[in-house]
Structure 1
Amino acid sequence: MTTVAEHQAAVRALIASHWRPMTEQVPTGAALGRVLAADVTSPIDLPPFDNSQMDGYAVRAADSDGLGEASTGRSLRITGHIAAGDPIRQLEDGAAAIMTGAPLPLGADAVVPVEAVGRPGEFAAVGDAIELRAQIEPGAFVRPRGSDLAAGGVLLTAGTALGPAQLGALAASGVTTVPVRARPRVLVISTGAELAEPGEPLRPGAIYDANAVSLSAAITLAGGVALATGVYSDDPGHLRMALEAAGPVELVVTSGGVSAGAHEVVRDTLAPLGLTFDSVAVQPGGPQGLGAITVSGFPTPVLCFPGNPVSALVSFELFLRPLLRGPRPVLRLPLAASLDSPVAKHQVRRGRITADQTVELVGGPSSHLLAAYARSDALVQVPVGVDHLDAGESVEVWRIDE
């Protein structure tokens, strides 16, 4: 029986031998959720000029030299007001009223908060004076030019997933387009004579197809382009027709028909074409297949997942998602209740993280409990060699609530 790590390595090797990294330039505003294909450097300093951290007065720190508890203060005349967006100007004698984010005038090297010399929000008028009462350090309440990042510095590294903060940093740097990994096109084929299209009358003995929707959604969230179809038959000819009708894709993912019993349409169709089928030491998701076939004239990798809905989604999380999007966030949390696990298998249980930072199990270990999976926000990883864990014992937990 193959271990989870061995099958993960086999999937990585299969994908790496067939996928050729493709890059495309997209507008920054349309890059949410995409993954950078190369480092992006900032063309400007961030911030691009010295600016005020506070509402206050731009001053020369040297004008406060000698002030302390024993001194009576020093008067500075207000020579101007500077708002955010004003051009950079020269500081005349005295001080200039300055707003948060406004450019520090040339000659000034510090800001005195408005409340330190008067009432909050009330600025002295041009020609009036403020009184400095204490020593001011150069750089006080100033955001120096380039203090976040100097021009030419690496703003974001290749492999970064672009979220709101990353897009904001790109926009602040004036970057309008970014190089991102092209979205791989993934053909999802859900198989089984027992399946029916959601919305159609459900005949006795049939179940609605959940895998086409759930796997397509998982692939889309992970950065792929899912093209879904159903083969609601155990006839190998129907599966071959679905593959022949597909356009060029980077990957085929099938669900169902991979066990060792009769009427296993995926195994019966693809094993003669060179795919290998094995049992992985995992619960759920044991039966797995992989290999490469020709699709639309191109050699194309194929991953074959089990048909039970939870098995299919767990297989995606273990074997495919890390290659599309990277690993899930991992925590170690105490169990809210005890659990049992087959000692020779890596068990993946569904769970929910509680307000007190424990993880409670949702539903049992069975692979058909899709409603329980839908109520979960975490996957609990129980490694091979563990047959029982008590409440309070620590487990590895993957967050899946994205």
Structure 2
Amino acid sequence: MTEICYPKSAALLSVEQAQQHIRQAIKPIEQHESIGLTEALDRILQQSIHTPIDIPPQRNAAMDGYAFASDALIKNQATMLQVIGTSWAGKPFTGSAQPNQCIRIFTGAVVPDFADSVIAQEQITRQADQITLPENTKPFKNIRAAGSDVKQHERLIKAPKKLKASDLGLLAAAGIDKVQVTRRLKIGFFSTGDELTAIGQALQPGQIYDSNRYLLDSLLKQANHLVTDLGVIKDDSQLIEHTISSAAGKFDVLISTGGASVGDADFIKQTLEKCGQVNFWKLAIKPGKPLAFGKIDDCLFFGLPGNPVAVLVTFEKFVKPALQQLSGLYPTQALQLLARCETPLRKSPGRQEYQRGILRQISPGEFSVQAAGQQDSHQLKVTSLANCFIVLNSECKGVEAGEMVIVEPLDTSL
């Protein structure tokens, strides 16, 4: 096996160094497909889109009221106008008007060529077909110009971009019904370990239920992913080798949990030495010190630790940005906020820690956080209670109650 050429050192690799090595090894996929707007939410736009029309396509009223020509206004006096028709949304007024005439108009309705102003219906008084505009009525108000949102041929959306609901609304407003998006990533994942038992089966002595596959399956559920659960692979080097070698040609990404260390039963390392180009790192991160990353032919491989909280942390810090980059996006940084820590936090220097916390918004722009509980990497209940990571850098020796800390929200609804 020829390993990927990353620096080898006894020192632990920092989070940033590992992320940089991963970024340098990834080439975004180029294949794309054309899909309809109803299928496009959260897909990755591959080609920038320009509008074929003005948006809006004609001048229209910004509110319900009356459209008139400003030449009719009498300075410092109330102005009386005759109502001669109505412009409805979808049913424009097609007649002409004299300077002392106006039309009733509704929000979104086309403003006829003779009018350059719209007055809100609450500002006038009306008797039969006569309206009175108040003294000092301001002209040239409440009309949206054609192209006031986007002008014809202007770029609507720049690729690459993960399409959100407002993007699809914008595309529909331009009359665009299909988009070119990056094809879905094909992702396979599996767990390793003789101790793992499927849900629904009775636990035998020394066994635990496999939570990692359910955790990964949830983390990977996205519109631009095609995800396959490859099950639990026992600690058997031949089984692991067969799984990896047969799966590598079917997927863009393979993810394993467990067996990424160097114990006697950790067969991932020796298997990958036969199958691919993979580096094994010890990272300055807690939880999640052991990590494997590399390629098996054209398939990216991530070997994550076995403890479930370490799976969550290493997925968020390394796998998630890699999947974004592979899809053609620029990897994003997690949102970080400053919060006042309500509880003391224990930590030894040497590794960057992602402790699980409960974040609260005290007032707009002001946050507090407390530890969600004990911080062992097997404790999923604490992770279930948490809504953020408390990020403590490698030099940190602990935090006293009342100190400010950096947090990364896992949920933006506080």
State the SS of the aligned residue for 2:19: helix
- Structure 1 stretch 172-181 or stretch 272-281: which is displaced more? 272-281
Number of the residue aligned with 2:109: 102
Q: How does 1:153-192 map to 2 (within 5 A)?
A: 153-192=154-193
Aligned partner letter, 2:284 = A
Question: 1:311-366: CA deviations, max 9, x gaps?
Answer: 01111100021233443333333323232223111101122321413223212221
Structure 2 Cα separation of the partners of residues 124 and 265 of structure 1: 89
> For 1:310 and 1:75, how far apart are their aligned partners in 2?
74
C-alpha separation in 2, matches of 1:162 and 1:106:
37
Deviation sequence 1:6-52 (CA, Å, 0-9, x none) = 11112222222xx5322221111111111211222222211111111
- Per the alignment, residue 42 of structure 2 pairs with 33
Q: Which residue of 2 aligns with 1:206?
A: 207
Identical pairs, percent: 30
Rounded to whole Å, the distance in 1 between the matches of 2:281 and 2:211 is 24
Matched AA of 2:64: D
Equivalent runs, 1:1-400 vs 2, <5 Å = 1-16=12-27, 19-66=28-75, 68=76, 71=77, 73-87=78-92, 89-93=94-98, 94-118=101-125, 128-221=129-222, 223-246=224-247, 248-273=250-275, 274-294=277-297, 299-325=298-324, 326-327=331-332, 328-356=334-362, 357-400=367-410
Q: Secondary structure at the match of 1:214?
A: helix
Letter of the structure 1 residue corresponding to residue 119 of structure 2: V
CA distance in 2, matches of 1:88, 1:390: 71
d(CA) in 2 for partners of 1:113, 1:101: 13
User: Would the aligned equivalents of 2:85 and 2:93 in 1 still touch at CA under 8 Å?
Assistant: no
Instruction: After TM superposition, give the deviation of residue 300 of structure 1 in Å.
Output: 1.8
Q: Per-residue CA shift, 1:279-323, capped at 9, x if unaligned?
A: 1000001101112224xxxx3221111011110111110002123
**Cα-Cα RMSD:** 2.0
Residues 136-188 of structure 1, C-alpha deviation per residue, up to 9 Å, x if partnerless? 44431111211111111122221322222121111112110112222211111
| In structure 1, distance between residues paired with 2:252 and 2:272 | 17
Q: Return closer, same or farther for 1:303/1:88 CA change in 2, 3 Å cut-off.
A: farther
TM-score between both structures, scaled by the size of structure 2: 0.88
Q: What amino acid is the match of 1:50?
A: R
State the AA in 1 paired with 2:18: H
Give per-residue Cα distances to partners, 1:173-204, cap 9 Å, x unaligned: 21101122222111112111111111222212
Amino acid at match of 2:203: L
Distance 1:378 1:221, change over 3 A: farther
Aligned mates of 1:282, 1:180 — CA distance in 2: 35
What number of residue pairs does the alignment pair up?
386
Q: Does structure 2 conserve the Cα–Cα contact (< 8 Å) formed by 1:195 and 1:208?
A: yes
Contact 2:85–2:104 (CA under 8 A) maintained in structure 1 = yes
Inter-partner Cα distance in structure 1 for 2:348 and 2:208? 29
Partner Cα separation in structure 1 for residue 318 and residue 93 of structure 2: 55
**Which shifted more, 392-401 or 178-187?**
392-401
Q: Contact 1:349 / 1:364 at 8 angstroms: preserved in 2?
A: no
CA distance in 1, matches of 2:409, 2:94: 51
Task: Give, in angstroms, the shift of residue 397 of structure 1.
Answer: 2.4
Q: Take 2:160 and 2:349, find their aligned partners in 1: how far apart are those partners?
A: 36
What is the CA distance between 1:377 and its match in structure 2? 2.2
- Measured after TM superposition, the shift of residue 111 of structure 1 is 0.6
Deviation per CA, 1:366-387: give whole Å up to 9, x if none. Answer: 1111122122222222122112
Q: Structure 1 unaligned runs (5+)?
A: none
Counterparts of 1:26 and 1:371, CA distance in 2: 40
Tell me by how many angstroms 1:77 deviates.
0.4
Conserved 8 A contact 2:342-2:370: yes
